Structure 1
Amino acid sequence: MRRRTFGRTAGTGVLVAVALTALVTGCGIRTTSVPVDAGAAPSRVPCSVSGQSPSATAAQGVPVRVFLVCGSQLEAVDRRTPLPEEKAGGNPVATATGLLAQLLAEPSDDERQAGFTTAVRGPLVVGGAHKGDPAGTLRLSRQPEDLTPVALSQIVCTFSASSAGAGEHTVLLGGPGPYAPKRYQCTTELKERPESTPPTTAPPATAGTTAVPDAPGTAPAG
């Protein structure tokens, strides 16, 4: 009798083990000897460039910051521009010209390896305001709306973060035609989704001009 009881007990243990194995397998859990990381897969794009020492770059120009595309977002990159230092902060057009040249340039080898690209393509130049434009207006050789959204986002965020901007992360931009400039704003959302259209607000009224009534449905100039 004892032998039969032992046999039935052993058989029951085997059945329980088989049932547990089937239950675990049915839940989609597989045994493995390798630890499983349940977190998100790490990005292979670092979006970070190791900077050179100040002594190595001191003679290469004025430090500037431009926004390039990396991982479908805009990321700031520190560069050097040959713009003379005495013109870097006092001439918005000269500052914008130097920044635009940086955006038009192909990323360096280190930047490419870090995943950076640029959507800004030439021919494209920047100049000063037309007669009647608000102070601080910059005029591109192409209408801003004719640029790709990513390229325009790069320009807006780069210009607005410099002395060429109009303050509060904005820049007054227009094109070569008679159209009025717009105040473009660089927002966190725009940096995260540069393929979207940069938000705009009405530019400030020009001193000495008569205010024109807003068209129905438009926001008043602020």
Structure 2
Amino acid sequence: MSARTAGRALARRTAAAALLLAATAAACGIRPTDVPVDAGPGPVRSTCETESDAPLDDSGDAEETEVFLLCGSHVESVERPISLPRPETGEAGPDYRVTVARALLSALQAGPDAEETDAGFTSAVPGALQVAGPGEGDPQPTLRLSQEPKALPAVALVQIICTFANSERLDGNGRTVLLAGPGASGGGTPEPYACTPAMLSDPEFAHAPPGASA
């Protein structure tokens, strides 16, 4: 075989291979292109870590406060400056506790700030939810929500339980908070809801029976 004949045979094989490759790509729904394709940035991993440097307000009422937000599939605490009232006397009564609870609930409803959002945090607490103090016959620490606790999404309930239970202004012991639904009648008996490591890892534990250990 001459060099010219061999060259032509090689060219035919190269062309046939190119046609086969193009046909295969077309069968897979891929259109060949000579233009580089920008696939965009890679996926961003949630760090679930913040370093809050927000300044405290000049009133002196704002303080670093622990609130609980959702990050990925679990709930974690973050600290942010929140203006909370101070009790007029040494003892925190029901009215004062309701004021603090409302401020904490508003912080959860406002959702994450810019830094928290970048770290992957979100909030599931409904914006229309309200909190009130104890009804007639309720123990003084009772906080009644405008919605039955068990009717809330599990994540939202964990956020509320752990934020309230860890608040020193609510005399929180880091473990439990006494919650009930709306009104003294039909809202159920106040029950202790515990903030446990299990529910932080898996919020569905919040829908376990009140007071159950996890």
Whole-Å separation in 1 of the counterparts to 2:174 and 2:52: 28
The offset of 1:86, in angstroms, is 4.3
Distance 1:107 1:166, change over 3 A: closer
Q: Percent of aligned pairs with the same residue?
A: 41
Distance 2:171 2:108 in 1: 16
What's the counterpart of residue 186 of structure 1?
195
Q: Is the 8 A contact 2:52 2:80 kept in 1?
A: no
1:31-50 alignment to 2 at 5 Å?
44-50=45-51
Quote how far apart the aligned CAs of 1:81 are: 1.8
Report the alpha carbon displacement of residue 62 of structure 1 after superposing the two structures with TM. Answer: 2.6
- For residues 92-130 of structure 1, the C-alpha deviation after alignment (integer angstroms, 9 at most, x for no partner) is 211111110000002111111100000101211111000
Partner of 2:78: 77
Q: Does 1:57 align with 2:63?
A: no
**What residue ranges of structure 1 are gaps of 5+ in the alignment?**
1-42, 203-222
What is the Cα deviation at residue 149 of structure 1?
0.8
Aligned residues: 157
Cα displacement (A) at 1:156: 0.4
TM, length-normalised to structure 1: 0.64
Instruction: Provide the C-alpha distance between the structure 2 equivalents of 1:112 and 1:103, rounded to a whole number of angstroms.
Output: 13
* Aligned with 2:180 (options 163, 174, 178): 174
| 2:149 match | 144
Q: What residue identity is the alignment partner of 2:194? A: Q
Distance in structure 1 (CA, Å) of the matches to 2:85 and 2:97: 13
Q: Secondary structure at the match of 2:122?
A: coil
Q: Secondary structure at the match of 2:53?
A: coil
**64 and 72 in structure 1: CA distance in 2 versus 1, 3 angstrom threshold:** same
Alpha-carbon distance, 1:165 to partner: 5.3
Q: Is the 8 A contact 1:64 1:80 kept in 2?
A: yes
What is the root-mean-square deviation of aligned Cα atoms in Å?
A: 2.2
Measured after TM superposition, the shift of residue 135 of structure 1 is 2.0
- Secondary structure at 1:195's aligned position in 2? helix
Q: Aligned partners of 1:70, 1:117: CA distance in 2, in Å? A: 6
Structure 2 gaps, min length 5: 1-43
Tell me the TM-score normalized by structure 2. Answer: 0.66
Name the CA distance, whole Å, in 2 between partners of 1:165 and 1:175. 21
- Flag the 1:165–1:188 CA change in 2: closer, same or farther, 3 A: farther
